[in-house]
Amino acid sequence: MRSRFRPDRQLSVRMVITMFLLGLLYVAFIAALVALLKSWILVVVVAAGLLAAQYWYSDKIALFAMHAHEVSAREQPHLHGVVDRLCATADMPKPRVAISQMGMPNAFATGRNPDHAVLCVTTGLLRRLETEELEGVIAHELSHVAHRDVAVITIASFLGVLAGLLVRFAFYSELFGGRRNDQNTALLLALIMAVSAVVYTISFLLIRALSRYRELAADRAAAMLTARPSALASALTKVSGDIARIPSEDLRTAQPFNAFFFTPALGDGATLFNLFSTHPSLERRLEQLAKISTELNQPR
């Protein structure tokens, strides 16, 4: 079923290209591991199992990590009312709704497709935003679901997860315990770490390039659906400013999920890392929303 969110062909093209390049990288990574470990059954079974787990259970993993739980309409009538109105406007299935008991103001959507999606907001976000601002944020997250870029980011992040797990596995398991030659063991470990580092770096850059564009696409789609880009701009400004005052410990807990958040969990000094950010700058997002506002106010 097509939603009323405006399609974004550039986003679709970027997702296809990213998945194609990551697919090639994945095949090369698996081939390198098979050559190094000389056990294709072990490599394929572990890699396939992790990929399947991340794809099928990404929503449960994200909710668990963010200390979130699903809530009913009786528990959160206001939040459910906003989601209901926007889903009706967008003509899309309603996702499951969850609340995270975090003071950090943010929201994210996850799930493998629109029929198995979950939308999560933090209590910190609900306390800070007015209804129109909350609608802008929810519309932004629903557009991720409608455009299916949530699933793409979930799958795309798998390579980085696999590379990181493999390094830990090499250190803390008995994978190399049966080898008698210590020099050979050290060389094999070094090669695995080098391959993993290269794979992680490439996937890191590809995911962030896609993530920055998909955030702009979600801002555009949300602004057009609600016809209130100023409300979304207000929410962005408010949330970004408040996140800068969140304790560093809370930010570090949330940072692994930055690619899924409405705004990144970054504190002071984050501008040094804009090149590797999962989100475009606040100025870039506000500039785009201002242009959309001008377009909507022009006489037709």
β-bridge pairing 68-70 and 96-100:
antiparallel
> Which of 70, 75, 130, 141 does the annotation list as catalytic?
141
Which of 5, 230, 259 minimizes the C-alpha distance to 139? 5
Sole residue written with tokens 């991340």: 54
Q: What residue type is assigned to position 157 of the chain? A: S
- 144 assigned ligand-binding residue: yes
Sole residue written with tokens 């002071």: 268
Q: With H, G, I as helix, E, B as strand and everything else as coil, classify residue 181.
A: coil
Q: With H, G, I as helix, E, B as strand and everything else as coil, classify residue 19.
A: helix
Distance (Å, whole) CA 86 – CA 82: 6
Q: Which two tokens stand for residue 68?
A: 């979130």
- 215 assigned ligand-binding residue: yes
Alpha-helical regions (H) of 93-228: 123-128, 131-147, 149-156, 158-172, 182-226
Backbone φ, ψ for residue 142 (5° rounding): -65, -30
- 67 assigned ligand-binding residue: no
Torsion angle in degrees (nearest 10) through CA of 236, 2, 88, 148: -40
- Four-residue CA torsion sign, 16, 19, 23, 25: positive
Per the annotation, the verdict on 133 as an active-site residue is no
Backbone φ, ψ for residue 175 (5° rounding): -55, -35
| Radius of gyration of the chain, Cα coordinates, nearest whole angstrom | 21
Distance (Å, whole) CA 179 – CA 280: 48
CA 186 to each of CA 180, 216, 239, 287: distance values in angstroms, whole numbers, following the listed order: 11, 45, 48, 52
Residue positions in the annotated binding site for Zn(2+)?
A: 140, 144, 215
What is the set of active-site residues? Answer: 141
**Residues forming the annotated binding site?**
140, 144, 215
